[in-house]
Amino acid sequence: MKTKIAIVGAGFAGAVLARELAESGNYDIHVFDARNHVAGNCHTKRDEETGVMIHEYGPHIFHTSREDVWDYVNRYGKFGQYVNRVKAVTARGVFSLPINLLTINQFFGKKMTPPEARDFVGSLGDRTITEPKSFEDQALKFLGREFYENFFYGYTKKQWGVEPSELPASILQRLPVRFNYDDNYYASKYQGIPVDGYTAIVEKILDHDDIKVSVGARFTADMKSSYAHTFYSGPMDGYFGFKLGRLQYRSLVFEKFVESGDYQGNPVINYCEESVPYTRISEHKNFTPWEQHDQTVCFREYSKLADENDTPYYPLRLQGDKELLMKYVDLADQEQGLTFIGRLGTYRYLDMHMVIGESLDLAKQLLQTKLEDWPKFSQRPA
């Protein structure tokens, strides 16, 4: 008899874990998703009007430096060559992002070499900040006020809905600063976009005799008793019926428009000024440069605080959220036969590759551990 396992959420966290457990031959796995599709917020679908592959919940570019993660996703789908190059519209013109030697030289009207630029940017930084605690500290210390105000202040305020001084430095640390002309948005070793979209990959991962998938099926806490163990990748506060209050998330709103030809000449253009209401425009056919389309589909992206009916995207993680989180962690610790996984389950700002890596690592750990000793979290939230 195989051990019955429930996995809630058919995004990468749940799908990869389901597959890895199923491969052992010891488990009978039922994956539930409240939405009517798999792949969570990575869901892709061809646009009916134009045939362009759409990232329904906003641009998802796959990148990782973990070879096992890259090999894993490539086993389930072909990845087209893609390097993310972002442009930023600022009050002083259009520049290359992440900040690199071209950005620095053009923004300040100079012709510096890498060492000159390094010294110059070093001289812009605020030396009075020794230990940067906030996003703002981090920007002022390493880049100085002009870069901060033109590239980061407005965008970040729109994206997160709070002053950057209230946000952790770790958000800015996601972006590299380069003293050469490399304008690759990511510093990862591998990067690409799946030729048939992310949903096709997740469907393939879930395609196993010992995995049953139910979409449009909401899992409720009372269903847990039918399974030896449940993995939950939905919001942790949601599992507990929000009984202690709600963890805050940012949600996104997309304004779709169709044009002919080439609308903006790049997949993603950020709008850094506070006065422009959206954060960025993405033109999805540019994510698959190997495809030809006469028409083009674009999305203006707006950020808002998620209310009860919105899709949660980014965990806000303000001080109050972290305190509430710890109370939910205490509740989770008292549960038996339940593990929280993924971005929503652990309330962390995770990219796809991180979630996949964590599910691969967790599966390895589970397969070597007695069911009674399985952990409460893929990674303990902090």
Which residues lie near ligand UDP (CB under 6 A)? Answer: 88, 97, 151-152, 155-156, 159, 171-172, 174-175, 270, 272
Q: Please name every residue paired with 191 in a beta bridge, in sequence order, or none if there are none.
A: 63
CB of 240 to ligand UDP, least distance (A): 27
**Measuring CA to CA, which residue among 69, 57, 8 is closest to residue 33?**
8
Is 20 or 321 the residue whose CB approaches ligand UDP more closely?
321
CB of 158 to ligand UDP, least distance (A): 9
Q: Is 284 exposed, middle or buried (0-12, 13-18, 19+ CB in 10 A)?
A: buried
Active-site residue, from 20, 301, 321, 358: 301
Active-site residue, from 280, 317, 343, 348: 280
**Measuring CA to CA, which residue among 70, 76, 46, 79 is closest to residue 206?**
76
Write out the two tokens for 26. Answer: 């010891």
Angstrom CA distances, 328 to 237, 241, 244, 316, stand at: 7, 11, 8, 16
CB of 42 to ligand UDP, least distance (A): 13
Backbone angles phi, psi at 282, to 5 degrees: -115, 140
Write out the two tokens for 172. Answer: 């800015």
Active-site residue, from 250, 317, 343, 348: 250
**Measuring CA to CA, which residue among 15, 51, 121, 102 is closest to residue 360?**
15
Active-site residue, from 46, 145, 174, 218: 174
CB of 164 to ligand UDP, least distance (A): 7
CB of 254 to ligand UDP, least distance (A): 13
Q: Please name every residue paired with 45 in a beta bridge, in sequence order, or none if there are none.
A: 54
The answer to whether 259 is a known catalytic residue is no
* Contact present, 350 and 3 (Cβ < 8 Å): no
The answer to whether 250 is a known catalytic residue is yes
The answer to whether 174 is a known catalytic residue is yes
Write out the two tokens for 43. Answer: 């869901």
CB of 122 to ligand UDP, least distance (A): 21
Q: Could you tell me how far CA 248 lies from the centroid of its own chain?
A: 16
Is 61 or 213 the residue whose CB approaches ligand UDP more closely?
61
Is 175 or 221 the residue whose CB approaches ligand UDP more closely?
175
CA distance 36 to 215: 5
CA distance 287 to 300: 16
Backbone angles phi, psi at 32, to 5 degrees: -115, 145
The answer to whether 262 is a known catalytic residue is no
Residue 270's SS3 state is strand
Is 96 or 378 the residue whose CB approaches ligand UDP more closely?
96
CB of 227 to ligand UDP, least distance (A): 33
Is 199 or 303 the residue whose CB approaches ligand UDP more closely?
303
Active-site residue, from 57, 302, 314, 349: 349
- Count the neighbouring beta carbons within 10 Å of the beta carbon of residue 12: 31
E-strand stretches of the chain: 3-8, 27-33, 44-46, 53-55, 62-64, 79-81, 86-90, 93-97, 190-194, 211-215, 229-232, 249-260, 268-271, 280-283, 295-305, 314-315, 338-340
The answer to whether 301 is a known catalytic residue is yes
Is 34 or 89 the residue whose CB approaches ligand UDP more closely?
89
Is 176 or 320 the residue whose CB approaches ligand UDP more closely?
176
Give catalytic residue positions. 174, 178, 250, 280, 301, 349, 351
